[in-house]
Structure 1
Amino acid sequence: MFAVDIAEQPFDVAALARDFPRSSDDTGAVATFTGYVRGEGISALALEHYPGMTEQSILDSIHSAARRWPVQSVQVVHRVGELGPGEPIVWLAVGSAHRAAAFSACEFVMDYLKVSAPLWKRECDLAGHWRWVDAKTTDEDRARRWGRDATA
């Protein structure tokens, strides 16, 4: 099962982890990642997306991960709209028979989300000024380790 959900409303991390689909006997590992809005010098973060295109693009990255590693299930939940510091912004889970594949596929998809997914971010500083946010060089460097497929 591969799933992508772009959500305007807050999500419950514990409920997502509890309900993540696992094959009864085949899933030996589930790797999860939860990203939160950092409040370092900002009062808000706003994310925009292109409905349909964003979900398909993320789903394509999941299929790319599944070609590289034997994963059984992958779920991505990503917030859009305006979020405050401390709010969960992304939740990602990968189920596989073994931990190495689960960890690697989780990193691969997360690197795609940080660098290439069609999600546009703006930050509001503490004075109330908004500015667009580009991908960080360190995130781009991490994504490059996967080769061309990580950003396609």
Structure 2
Amino acid sequence: MRIAHVSSQLLTRVSLLTRLLAGQLGGELSRTEVGLLNTLSGGPRRVTELAELERLKQPTMTLLVQRLEQQGLVSRERHAGDGRVVLVTLTPAGSVALEDYRAQARAALSAYLAEMPDEQVEALAAATETLAHLVTVLQRGTSK
């Protein structure tokens, strides 16, 4: 059954692709740091929310935020309406670092894709659209 095959292989292959690409890019940011910056590109978030979204323990997320804050990539501010709440925000330098990482990833992927036959690139283009739909379904939390 195709669903069983895709279910058993997709996550493993996507994870491997991500690890291989991140390893080749090197750079100053870890995959976890890039993931956090990417999440913050959608707007400010609470540390507890970030920990949940990134699947990290709250103390680990706090340390990660502190490290990125020391690098000037994120900032922490008290919520205007509730001083007990701390929001983490992507700084302009964080936006630049994230876009630089994305540009390097695009360039590396483009170089590898250029070596592949056109039919395979077309298949990956279709798969990319399908993955976008799968992400939307997962974000809605429904299986239909």
* TM-score, length of structure 2 as denominator length: 0.25
Structure whose CA Rg is larger = 2
Whose strand proportion is higher, 1 or 2? 1
Structure number with the higher helix fraction is 2
Q: Give the TM-score taking structure 1 as reference length.
A: 0.24
